[in-house]
């Protein structure tokens, strides 16, 4: 068996690792906005404000991605959230993501967009539901 085939055999598991790592990192943004951890969050946060809804999406959408439940629709929504975040918050500060501090939003946007098409991977609640 050549190297390409060996690596390809692990693709579903590594896709799961990408999903899990991205979800854990993403959830930190939600906990920071909603719970003030890590660091501090916005003062007097209104849950139905733009930042409040973003925090809810980041925490609870991230949790769904973490376990791989409803992965494709959740990833689609979160990809859209990150596109909106980039164009509303970062792009007005300049063209280059490295200068406007928007690299994270761009990377999350495209990782989540990839998950819409690739699915959750082997280690997910969606995969368990499909097998049942």
pLDDT score of 35: 93
Residue whose pair of structure tokens reads 């003062």 in the numeric block: 43
Domain ranges of the chain: 11-131
pLDDT score of 43: 84
Q: State pLDDT tens for residues 85-104.
A: 999 999 999 999 999 999 99
Q: State pLDDT tens for residues 51-66.
A: 999 999 999 999 999 9
Q: State pLDDT tens for residues 73-88.
A: 999 999 999 999 999 9
Please tell me the pTM assigned to this model.
0.94
Taking the CB of residue 37, how many other CB atoms lie within 10 A of it?
A: 10
Q: State how far the Cα of 64 lies from the Cα of 30, in Å rounded to an integer.
A: 13
Burial class from Cβ neighbours inside 10 Å (0-12, 13-18, 19+) for residue 74 reads buried
């Amino acid at each position: 068996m050549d190297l390409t085939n060996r690596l390809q055999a692990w693709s579903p598991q590594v896709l799961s690792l990408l999903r899990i790592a991205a979800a854990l990192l993403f959830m930190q943004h939600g906990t920071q906005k909603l719970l003030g951890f890590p660091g501090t969050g916005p003062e007097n946060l209104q849950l139905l404000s733009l930042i409040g809804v973003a925090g809810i999406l980041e925490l609870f959408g991230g949790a769904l991605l973490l376990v791989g439940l409803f992965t494709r629709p959740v990833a689609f929504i979160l990809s859209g959230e990150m596109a909106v975040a980039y164009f509303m918050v970062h792009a007005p500060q300049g063209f280059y993501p490295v200068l406007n501090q928007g690299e994270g939003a761009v990377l999350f946007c495209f990782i989540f967009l990839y998950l819409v098409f690739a699915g959750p991977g082997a280690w997910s609640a969606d995969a368990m539901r499909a097998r049942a």
